[in-house]
Amino acid sequence: VVTGGYSVYVRLGKEQQQTETVASSDPIFNANFSFSASKKDDEGMEIIVLFMGKEYSRCHLSIKNLPPSAVKRRTVNLVANAGKKSAKLDGTITLEFFSENYGFNSLPSEEDEASLRDRVSLQLSKYAPKDLHRVEYMLGEFVGAEDALMTKLIADYNCLPGDARLALTVKEIRGLTRNGKSVERGNPFVKVKTHMEKVSTRTLSQVRDGYFDETFTFTMATPEKDYLQVSVFNSELGSDYLYGEALISIENLQRGTPRTITAMIVQRPGTKSASFGGYVTLVLRSDDFGSFNPVDINADSVWRQQLKNFFVRYCPERLHRIQAIPPNRAYMAKLIKEYGPPPNTDEVHVTVMEVRDAVGQKESATVLLQFGIDTMS
């Protein structure tokens, strides 16, 4: 039950506006304001959420990362106790911006901006929580100079380059194949490797689908760039057989929230003959790295499927990297420019493998067909 009401105060330069008061725990305003903007405006825009007439939370925005003649919707974090050591994230506010004659053409992609936002928020939450409400302002002031922003954080706040602790649980494997055929029985185990560490699960005996539920902890030196190399092997005398491999990025995690990922493992990774090898299910969690906001799992799943379709058609040598590439429209545009248009997912690809027993005028012959794309599903 809401006994008071919320309103929002907006200031840009010497101009200020305020919404009506709405009595709701998740108030909807749809209030439109107009301000005079200048590219020389260095103070940015102040957003203050009021509850019962008193400041509840705030954020400080730059207007130097707005596009010209286009609507930009931004959902940004609000900070309670802004300017104090006890400052903390407390909700979000959604804003829309539009100007016909103001804006900047050279702007980062939404994905790159979101990644940088998480990195800056993480550093400020650790070393300077009193300035958490200024994250959006910093992003706008350092458009096109992201490395300079991180350098400034280190200089101003004595921030250390952020490493991250990652808990990884290997849950299960299923659907293993060997040379294109389903595995009936095997002795599988899983290896996980980072740039600095390497671990292995126990070996299961005489299974096709296996359950491990084993948890390991890693230190990721540069979590926004590092990835996990996950390999599934069959234990054999002499040398172990590689069922498949997948590279996993941890960039698309929500901080402090477990994320379950089922990744396709790929046989002969990095080669044109790469093919489906099965699936491995993992649970990842980091308490000091990742987005502060919920991750859009559905959008991420769509992105992985788009990559899979593209790699199957044009560059199978990249199939093992599907889970290592975070959503990025610029990356997809680069693929399209290099290889061609995204494949039509309704297509069926058939490879004629061989003809048998076609001797003379023999009335019957057998044609073996392999449905290439479907074998990767």
Question: Which pLDDT score is estimated for 116?
Answer: 83
**What pLDDT is attached to residue 347?**
52
CB atoms within 10 A of CB 362: 8
* 286-330-274-349 Cα dihedral, nearest 10 degrees: 130
Residue type, 124: L
* Angstrom distances, CA of residue 114 to CA of 84, 100, 119, 290: 25, 25, 9, 11
Question: For position 374, what pLDDT does the model report?
Answer: 39
Helices 297-314 and 329-339: angle between axes, nearest 10 degrees? 10
Looking up tokens 């671990």 gives 199
pLDDT on residue 345: 61
Do 291 and 114 meet the contact criterion of CB atoms below 8 Å apart? yes
Tokens at 310, concatenated: 């593209």
For residue 344, the model assigns a pLDDT of 72
Residue 352, H or E segment = strand 350-356
Largest CA distance in the chain: 94
Query: What is the C-alpha R_g of the chain?
Result: 26
Per-residue pLDDT at 351:
56
Q: What was the pLDDT predicted at 373?
A: 40
Model pLDDT, residue 229: 97
pLDDT of residue 358: 61
In DSSP terms, 263 is beta-bridged to: 280
b/e map of 137-167 (b: 16 or more CB within 10 Å)? bbbbbbbeebeebbeebeeeeebeebebebe
CA angle 128, 227, 208 (to 5 degrees): 135
User: 10 Å Cβ neighbour count for 247?
Assistant: 18
Count, residues in the chain: 377
**Residue 377: predicted pLDDT:** 44
pLDDT of residue 37: 75
59 contacts: CB under 8 Å, gap ≥ 6: 47, 76, 77, 78, 79, 82, 93, 133, 135, 136
CB 74 within 8 A of CB 63: no
Global pTM exceeds 0.85: no
Q: Collapse the DSSP code of 135 into the 3-class scheme (helix H, G, I; strand E, B; otherwise coil) and give the result.
A: helix
DSSP string, 139-162: HHHTTT-HHHHHHHHHHHH-PPP-
- Tens of each residue's pLDDT in the chain, 377 residues: 456 799 999 999 889 999 999 988 889 999 999 988 775 556 789 999 999 989 999 999 988 888 888 888 888 999 999 999 999 999 999 999 988 888 787 788 887 788 788 888 888 888 899 999 999 999 988 887 877 887 888 888 877 656 788 999 999 999 999 888 898 889 999 999 998 899 999 999 999 899 999 999 998 877 878 899 999 999 987 788 999 999 999 888 888 899 999 999 999 999 999 999 999 999 999 987 887 778 889 989 999 999 999 999 999 999 999 999 988 888 899 999 999 988 876 555 565 656 666 655 555 555 455 444 434 44
Predicted local confidence at residue 255, as pLDDT: 83
- Contact yes or no for 25/4 (Cβ under 8 A): no
